[in-house]
Amino acid sequence: MLRLAVASILGFVLFMIETMIVMELKNYHTIDYGGLGPFTSVWAMNIFFVFAILTQIKIWYYNQRQRQSENVPFH
């Protein structure tokens, strides 16, 4: 649940960063997203992208903790 909340917030931040990059590259002052539908779909893609990254970080963290508890040297 926490991952989804963080992914939602970071997905929106990523969306704004993408918008700023496009505005700088194309020298635009404003961007028309074409309505709520395209805005929501891009935001949803970013949410899933960030959620997948956070899931991989979680798995990596649990594996690291398990290795430390077993006293297996890290390679």
User: The pTM is what?
Assistant: 0.80
Range of the domain at 32: 2-70
- With respect to residue 28, please indicate whether it lies within any of the assigned structural domains: yes
- With respect to residue 64, please indicate whether it lies within any of the assigned structural domains: yes
The per-residue pLDDT string of the chain (75 residues; one tens digit each, 9 = 90 and over) reads: 999 999 999 999 999 999 999 999 999 999 888 999 999 999 999 999 999 999 999 999 999 888 888 765 666
- With respect to residue 75, please indicate whether it lies within any of the assigned structural domains: no
Split into its structural domains, the chain has a count of 1
Please tell me the distance from the alpha carbon of residue 10 to that of residue 26, in angstroms, as a whole number.
24
Q: pLDDT tens digits, residue range 58-69?
A: 999 999 888 888
